[in-house]
Structure 1
Amino acid sequence: MSDTTTASGTQAVDRAALLVSTVVEADTPLAFAEIAEECGLPKSTTSRLLTALERTELLERDPSGAYVAGPLFWRYASRFDPFTELSQLALPTLEAVGEATGETVTLGMPRGDDVVHVAQVDSRFHLGTRDWTQVQVPSHASALGKVLFAYAALPLPDGPLEQLTEQTRVQVAALRADLDGCRRRGYATTVDELELGLSAVAAPVRDHHGDVVAALGISGPTARLQSHLAAHGRLLKNQAEQLTELLVHRRKAGVA
């Protein structure tokens, strides 16, 4: 190989690396013209390199056509952050449940002694619920938390529990009885336990070992949701089982 060929190859790598770093470090997605201008490259060169970077999944285009970090970055990050990996994998499931029910759909995972809301699809109703990804919820008053308690994904508290409403289970014995029902049905429910007028239902998501690693849930106004808790619970149980199958398949395929 000649020195000229080597230099040309090195230049191509340097330019591709510049494109990747420019896009990944940008605060917002970048349009093609913005990338070419910021990197100081001819548009023909920029186009050729971006095509190669898309093909290798280092970059991709969002719905507007602007460039963002590609799937390869997210897969690498998910090796060290299970919250990111599962929330991205579960998004189509959350959207399907939201489409079927119209309610707010959330995915919760255990972190220490708490439930972390890692993904959400908002309600289609005007009277819906808040952005739970920004809220810390006491686990004993949460359907997601009850699921994680029921299957030992969260440690069960051993003392009196905080009373948030008149319906909150404040005795561990009462909470244990509720968790027995969760395991029998395959889903957990709350009615006015976190806030008066708020109900929720959730089902377990398992990993390839069969261990519960997350909970898929619906929440909404009690007046609208209470009469549908059983039907929504069965729907969530089915969707959570499908998400479990997807997790198992990805693990067997060596993706996760």
Structure 2
Amino acid sequence: MVNPVGSQSVDRASALLALVVAADAPRTFTSLVDELGLAKSTTSRLLQALERSRLVQRDAAGAFRPGALFALYAARPSALHDLAELARPTCERLGEQSGETVNLAVPRGTDLVHISQVDSRHVLGAINWVGVEVPAHCSALGKVFYASGVLPLPAGELQRRTDRSLTERPALERALGDVRRRGWAVSLDELEVGLTSVAAPVRATGGTVIAAISISGPTSRIAERGVGALGELLISEIRGLSAQLGSS
């Protein structure tokens, strides 16, 4: 039999934790009391329990931020699997609507890593990119990460993969400005001749870009659908995923 008092405590603690984790900055005790409308004694007791479990911690000013368990979880290899599973319904919808290959990638150090893929329903264009290393400046996914600042711009000479590759830094910076302005990136024959991809960011708390999703396929088919239309489709579909991750 469910204990209603115990269930209420769990609900209140969960609500407190959600406020702390979703906040752009550490939350003060007073702001948490005011927002949830709980008694100060109740709020204090719940926060102490969350602290003991390392789900929240206090900063030097005494405000509350996500605890060490979140950092430990983020460092685990399984965190990428969990992100891929969370994003899978979005990626599958994009695959169904576009008919093309859909990839989810994350930034790691100075590189991008493809962590999951929904295959194209066409034989032509059904390439498995998971685990394949590509120069980020030739990739729509990479341009999203450069434009948002989560990947450092490449140092030195930019690799030329095709005649369309952006090998001059000013040209790359102009392209990144376009990404920031319209919200999506494109790679048109820049990685491989005949391959076009369009990508948009996945955001978490505070609008931080933590991943990106792309639609890619033969340039001729992508042109028929329209690069801009695919960019807007990505933005529309990813919005719900970003909200699940705490982006407002």
Distance in 2 separating the partners of 1:78 and 1:103: 30
User: Does the residue aligned with 1:153 lie in a helix, a strand or coil?
Assistant: coil
For 1:208, the equivalent position in structure 2 comes to 205
Determine if contact 1:78/1:84 at 8 Å carries over to the other structure.
Answer: no
Distance in 1 separating the partners of 2:74 and 2:162: 38
For 2:149, the equivalent position in structure 1 comes to 152
User: Does the residue aligned with 1:133 lie in a helix, a strand or coil?
Assistant: coil
Determine if contact 1:129/1:219 at 8 Å carries over to the other structure.
Answer: no
For 1:235, the equivalent position in structure 2 comes to 233
For 1:83, the equivalent position in structure 2 comes to 80
User: Does the residue aligned with 1:116 lie in a helix, a strand or coil?
Assistant: strand
Give the CA deviation at 1:161.
0.2
Distance in 2 separating the partners of 1:168 and 1:122: 25
Distance in 2 separating the partners of 1:150 and 1:77: 27
Q: Which amino acid aligns with 2:211?
A: A
Q: How does 1:46-85 map to 2 (within 5 A)?
A: 80-81=76-77, 82-85=79-82
| Number of equivalent positions | 175
Q: How does 1:24-39 map to 2 (within 5 A)?
A: none
Mark the structure with the bigger radius of gyration: 1
User: Does the residue aligned with 2:197 lie in a helix, a strand or coil?
Assistant: strand
1:97 and 2:98 are equivalent in the alignment: no
For 2:185, the equivalent position in structure 1 comes to 188
Larger relative CO (CA 8 A, sep 6+): 1 or 2? 2
Match of 2:118 among 116, 121, 126: 121
Give the CA deviation at 1:146.
0.3
| Gapped regions of structure 2 (runs ≥ 5) | 1-71
**After the TM superposition, which parts of structure 1 deviate over 2 Å for at least 4 consecutive aligned residues?**
76-82
Match of 1:222 among 216, 219, 222: 219
Match of 1:177 among 174, 177, 185: 174
TM-score (ref. length: structure 2) = 0.67
Give the CA deviation at 1:137.
0.9
Give the CA deviation at 1:78.
6.6
TM-score (ref. length: structure 1) = 0.65
Distance in 2 separating the partners of 1:162 and 1:182: 20
Q: Which amino acid aligns with 1:107?
A: L
Q: Which amino acid aligns with 1:177?
A: R
Distance in 2 separating the partners of 1:120 and 1:246: 20
Give the CA deviation at 1:209.
2.2
Determine if contact 1:107/1:216 at 8 Å carries over to the other structure.
Answer: yes
Determine if contact 1:159/1:172 at 8 Å carries over to the other structure.
Answer: no
Distance in 1 separating the partners of 2:75 and 2:152: 25
Q: Percent of aligned pairs with the same residue?
A: 46
Give the CA deviation at 1:148.
0.4
1:180-204 superposed Cα distances (whole Å, 9 cap, x missing partner): 0011110000110000000000001
Structure 2 vs 1, CA of residues 78 and 150 (structure 1 numbering), >3 Å: closer, same or farther?
Answer: closer
1:98-136 superposed Cα distances (whole Å, 9 cap, x missing partner): 010110000010011111001100000121231000311
Give the CA deviation at 1:79.
7.1
Distance in 2 separating the partners of 1:80 and 1:107: 18
Determine if contact 1:78/1:85 at 8 Å carries over to the other structure.
Answer: no
Q: Which amino acid aligns with 1:230?
A: G
Determine if contact 2:113/2:131 at 8 Å carries over to the other structure.
Answer: no
